[in-house]
């Protein structure tokens, strides 16, 4: 379907439940709450379904009060695969009416899909969609969209940023959003604990394949010892990729004993989504994720074998 | 003078020497080489005068061959004060014909000045100026301008970023520049040595004034022990400001025994330029610098007294 058809679908339906993926990021939550506010502005019922809400993203929920209604229409935003719905998967799998997404590898099974892999963020799609729907962009909706766009592009740093992305962001800035504050919270704020964690993580860096791969790991033991949780562990993934000469940066985070959530960030010469697909994961060309099981050493060995396969 | 007068001045003169400030950053060098290429495209002689060229910025000089000519016109770019000319100060002080800058506190004494403090970067001014001069924006000129704009805004992250800044960047992207590569080099590349330095610097963090101030220090001793130079020490300044709750982040770098180059980054509630002015320095509202003399403890004590004065 094209974007006008997606707009017409949203305009002609009601009682929306908006699904985001588990471990939601700025684009998932910005898309969810932005769309929710837009639909409510049009007089419709809408709520966002999410697995958890990291503290830094709470500002996105401003003005989104509880609404009591029977769900009629299910829309997923920024969800590349129903597997990524986490604890909401069982309830919603196979029930999505409309899927709006920007992941090239989108595998959601839904009767209606609008997927634009050229969009840097799902929120960039929503900006255009809201224009077609004659949604008035309030400051709060603009905050949601800006948050999604800035977080998915690393504040306009990554290769997915197009001139259109920048112009959309310019239009959002003109709506009076507090972009410097959002950016500071998203990109330039670290707790003391986070600094301690980074100091420790730097000590775990392991180079592999002639230093073209760097691996860091946050074991459960380390997490417990430092007392760090999701808030601190977010964002570690950018560390190994930054090292000069590294083509594949791998971040291993032990979620439960023997289960590692793995984030892969790559130079453009290596496809991160393909890499993670070997482990049943997925994502973007330069940023993807998967889960690997085993002890730290076993999981690392599996990942190294995969590195050997691509380098 | 207004921007059209600045354009006319450049169009009607020749044999340019373009001055940048000492310890040049992306905006100084992007402005210098961007203007040099623009003037040469118009058939004029031009060269850039700089104190040093960090390795990461070498790509800005592409296509700028040596030209032999007698200097006729001196233009300064991104220079807020002739004091900042470093080793070029003696030769050029009082000789600047045209000063183009974006620092509100500009103190350059020149007969002609075009200062636009609303511009996020000096390169943003040049983008507009080149338009008035009918300069064709080649990819290399666009690379120079983009580098200045992205580095001075922390890749569009800081409060100086306006919607105009984003639209200028969008126009530059449309010229086919390799923004992801530039951004990776500028913001997302660390040598192994830099990582080691950061790990060590994290250990020097000192909190002050109920944790509203954080101070880090790279002594000569540490620099020698780790074998780090200018390349690694650049960018440390963002570390203390990032810590949650910190309003004043201070980075001390011992340049020679008992002489500290101090970088101050502040929350918007504190003016960094005013803070540094107490020590004879200056800069922007949220990012400024100065020099403080004494032992590490003495220099720190002076800085803390100044912190007491503003918090």
Q: How many alpha carbons fall within 13 Å on the CB side of residue B165?
A: 27
Of A156, A163, A243, the CB nearest to B192: A243
ipTM: 0.87
Specify the CATH number of the domain B192-308. Answer: 3.10.310.30
Provide the pLDDT for residue A138. 98
B161 to A179: CB separation less than 8 angstroms, yes or no: yes
pTM (two decimals): 0.88
B2 near A CB under 8 A: no
CA distances from B256 to B225, B237, B278 (A): 15, 18, 21
Question: What mean pLDDT is predicted for residues A96-117?
Answer: 96
Of A163, A183, A268, the CB nearest to B173: A163
Provide the pLDDT for residue A258. 95
Task: Compare all CA atoms of chain B with the CA of A163 and give the residue at the minimum distance.
Answer: B170
Domain boundaries, chain A: 3-187, 192-308
Q: A73: Cβ–Cβ under 8 A, 6 or more apart, which residues? A: A13, A14, A15, A16, A17, A97, A98
B170 near A CB under 8 A: yes
Q: What percent of chain A has pLDDT over 90?
A: 88
B155 to A158: CB separation less than 8 angstroms, yes or no: no
A310 near B CB under 8 A: no
CB pairs under 8 A between A and B: 106
Residue A142 or residue A286, greater confidence: A142
A167 near B CB under 8 A: yes
Residue B280 burial (CB count, 10 A) = 10
Q: Please say whether the beta carbons of A106 and A96 come within 8 A.
A: no
Write out chain B residues lying below 8 Å of A183, CB-based. 157-158
B163 to A157: CB separation less than 8 angstroms, yes or no: no
- Name the token pair of A224: 């417990």
A244 to B191: CB separation less than 8 angstroms, yes or no: yes
> Which regions of chain B are under pLDDT 50?
none
The tens digit of pLDDT for each residue in B151-207 reads 999 999 999 999 999 999 999 999 999 999 999 999 988 888 989 899 999 989 999
Q: Which of B247, B235, B130, B123 is nearest to B190 (CA)?
A: B235
Write out chain B residues lying below 8 Å of A189, CB-based. 242-244
Which of B169, B178, B196, B239 is the best substitution to test chain A (most A C-beta atoms within 10 A)? B169
Q: Which of B167, B155, B118 is nearest to A171 (CA)?
A: B167
Provide the pLDDT for residue B200. 92
Min Cα distance A277 → chain B (Å) is 24
Write out chain B residues lying below 8 Å of A127, CB-based. none
CA-to-CA distance for B115 and B131, rounded, in angstroms? Answer: 17
Task: Compare all CA atoms of chain B with the CA of A159 and give the residue at the minimum distance.
Answer: B180
Write out chain A residues lying below 8 Å of B215, CB-based. none
Provide the pLDDT for residue B167. 98
B183 near A CB under 8 A: yes
A238 to B170: CB separation less than 8 angstroms, yes or no: no
The tens digit of pLDDT for each residue in A240-266 reads 999 999 999 999 999 999 999 999 999
Provide the pLDDT for residue A183. 96
Provide the pLDDT for residue A243. 95
Provide the pLDDT for residue A233. 87
Length of chain A: 311
Of B174, B190, B243, the CB nearest to A244: B190
Domain range B3-187, CATH class: alpha beta
Provide the pLDDT for residue A27. 98
Write out chain B residues lying below 8 Å of A179, CB-based. 161
Question: What mean pLDDT is predicted for residues A51-68?
Answer: 95
Provide the pLDDT for residue A232. 83
Residue window 218-257, chain A: list those with CB within 8 Å of chain B: 238, 241-244
Residue with tokens 């070997």, as numbered in its chain: A278
Question: What mean pLDDT is predicted for residues A185-214?
Answer: 92
Task: Compare all CA atoms of chain B with the CA of A191 and give the residue at the minimum distance.
Answer: B244
Q: A308: Cβ–Cβ under 8 A, 6 or more apart, which residues? A: A209
Min Cα distance A17 → chain B (Å) is 33
Q: Please say whether the beta carbons of A33 and A48 come within 8 A.
A: yes
Q: Please say whether the beta carbons of A44 and A138 come within 8 A.
A: no
Residue window 145-164, chain A: list those with CB within 8 Å of chain B: 154-159, 161-164
A156 to B156: CB separation less than 8 angstroms, yes or no: yes
Of B162, B166, B242, the CB nearest to A190: B242
A199 to B195: CB separation less than 8 angstroms, yes or no: no
CA-to-CA distance for A203 and B199, rounded, in angstroms? Answer: 8
Write out chain A residues lying below 8 Å of B192, CB-based. 243-244
């Amino acid at each position: 379907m094209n974007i006008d058809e997606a707009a017409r679908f949203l305009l002609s339906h009601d009682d929306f439940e908006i699904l985001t993926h588990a471990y939601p990021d700025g684009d998932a939550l910005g898309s969810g709450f932005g769309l929710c506010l837009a639909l409510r502005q049009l007089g419709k019922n809408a709520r966002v379904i999410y697995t958890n809400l990291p503290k830094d993203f709470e500002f996105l929920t401003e003005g989104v009060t509880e609404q009591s209604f029977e769900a009629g229409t299910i829309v997923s935003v920024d969800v590349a695969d129903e597997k990524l719905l986490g604890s909401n998967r069982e309830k919603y799998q196979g029930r999505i009416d409309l899927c709006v997404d920007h992941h090239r590898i989108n595998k959601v099974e839904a009767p209606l899909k609008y997927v634009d892999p050229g969009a840097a963020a799902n929120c960039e799609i929503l900006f255009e969609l809201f224009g077609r729907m004659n949604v008035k962009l309030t400051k709060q909706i603009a905050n949601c969209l800006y948050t999604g766009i800035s977080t998915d592009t690393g504040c306009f740093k990554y290769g997915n940023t197009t001139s259109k992305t920048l112009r959309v962001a310019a239009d959002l800035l003109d709506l009076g959003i507090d972009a410097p504050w959002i950016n500071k919270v998203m990109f330039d704020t670290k707790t003391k604990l986070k600094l301690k964690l980074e100091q420790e993580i730097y000590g775990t860096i392991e180079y592999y394949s002639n230093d073209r791969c760097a691996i860091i790991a946050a074991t459960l033991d380390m997490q417990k010892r430092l007392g760090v949780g999701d808030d601190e562990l977010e964002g570690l993934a950018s560390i190994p990729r930054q090292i000069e000469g590294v083509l594949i940066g791998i971040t291993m985070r032990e979620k439960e004993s023997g289960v590692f959530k793995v984030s892969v960030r790559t130079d453009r010469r290596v496809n991160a989504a393909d890499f993670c697909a070997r482990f049943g994961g997925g994502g973007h060309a330069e940023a993807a994720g998967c889960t690997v099981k085993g002890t730290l050493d076993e999981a690392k060995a599996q990942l190294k074998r995969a590195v050997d396969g691509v380098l």
